[in-house]
Amino acid sequence: MTQTTKTQKMLTFEEYLTYDDGTDTRYELVEGQYEDKVFTGATCMESVVIADWALTVEQVFNSANRP
Protein backbone atom coordinates (compact mmCIF):
# COMPACT_ATOMS: atom_id res chain seq x y z
CA MET A 1 0.00 0.00 0.00
CA THR A 2 1.36 3.41 -0.97
CA GLN A 3 0.63 6.48 1.14
CA THR A 4 0.57 9.84 -0.62
CA THR A 5 0.90 13.20 1.03
CA LYS A 6 -0.68 16.28 -0.45
CA THR A 7 1.71 19.21 -0.25
CA GLN A 8 0.76 22.82 -0.63
CA LYS A 9 2.79 25.26 -2.65
CA MET A 10 4.83 27.61 -0.50
CA LEU A 11 3.67 31.17 -1.13
CA THR A 12 5.84 34.19 -1.68
CA PHE A 13 5.38 37.49 0.11
CA GLU A 14 4.27 39.07 -3.17
CA GLU A 15 1.56 36.41 -3.57
CA TYR A 16 0.46 37.06 0.02
CA LEU A 17 0.11 40.80 -0.64
CA THR A 18 -2.13 40.23 -3.67
CA TYR A 19 -4.23 37.37 -2.23
CA ASP A 20 -7.98 37.99 -2.06
CA ASP A 21 -10.41 35.18 -1.33
CA GLY A 22 -13.44 37.47 -1.46
CA THR A 23 -14.00 37.47 2.31
CA ASP A 24 -13.12 39.80 5.18
CA THR A 25 -10.90 37.13 6.75
CA ARG A 26 -7.50 38.37 7.82
CA TYR A 27 -4.54 36.12 7.08
CA GLU A 28 -0.93 35.89 8.17
CA LEU A 29 1.80 34.32 6.08
CA VAL A 30 3.54 31.76 8.29
CA GLU A 31 6.34 29.69 6.79
CA GLY A 32 4.86 30.12 3.32
CA GLN A 33 1.29 29.14 4.30
CA TYR A 34 -1.81 31.21 5.03
CA GLU A 35 -3.11 31.16 8.60
CA ASP A 36 -6.42 32.85 9.25
CA LYS A 37 -6.63 35.23 12.20
CA VAL A 38 -9.87 35.26 14.16
CA PHE A 39 -10.59 38.01 16.66
CA THR A 40 -13.54 37.51 19.00
CA GLY A 41 -14.81 38.82 22.32
CA ALA A 42 -11.99 39.71 24.69
CA THR A 43 -9.23 38.94 22.17
CA CYS A 44 -6.93 41.94 21.68
CA MET A 45 -6.95 43.04 18.07
CA GLU A 46 -3.68 43.58 16.21
CA SER A 47 -2.69 46.46 13.97
CA VAL A 48 0.30 46.83 11.70
CA VAL A 49 -0.34 50.58 11.64
CA ILE A 50 -0.80 51.20 15.38
CA ALA A 51 1.87 49.18 17.18
CA ASP A 52 0.47 49.67 20.70
CA TRP A 53 -3.14 48.93 19.78
CA ALA A 54 -4.83 47.53 22.89
CA LEU A 55 -8.52 47.29 22.07
CA THR A 56 -10.56 44.11 22.16
CA VAL A 57 -13.30 43.18 19.72
CA GLU A 58 -15.90 43.78 22.47
CA GLN A 59 -14.58 47.31 23.10
CA VAL A 60 -14.75 48.20 19.41
CA PHE A 61 -18.33 46.94 18.99
CA ASN A 62 -19.49 48.44 22.28
CA SER A 63 -18.16 51.87 21.26
CA ALA A 64 -20.00 51.60 17.94
CA ASN A 65 -23.30 51.00 19.76
CA ARG A 66 -23.10 54.15 21.91
CA PRO A 67 -25.55 56.95 21.11
The answer to whether 55 touches 64, Cβ cutoff 8 Å, is no
> What was the pLDDT predicted at 6?
45
pLDDT value of position 60: 79
User: In this model, does residue 7 exceed pLDDT 70?
Assistant: no
**What pLDDT is recorded for position 37?**
76
Q: Could you report the per-residue pLDDT of 9-67, keeping only the tens digit for each?
A: 788 888 878 888 887 777 777 888 888 877 777 877 777 777 787 888 788 778 876 66
- Residue 45 is predicted with a pLDDT of 76
* Three-class secondary structure of residue 56 per DSSP: strand
Q: Is the pTM of this model over 0.75?
A: no
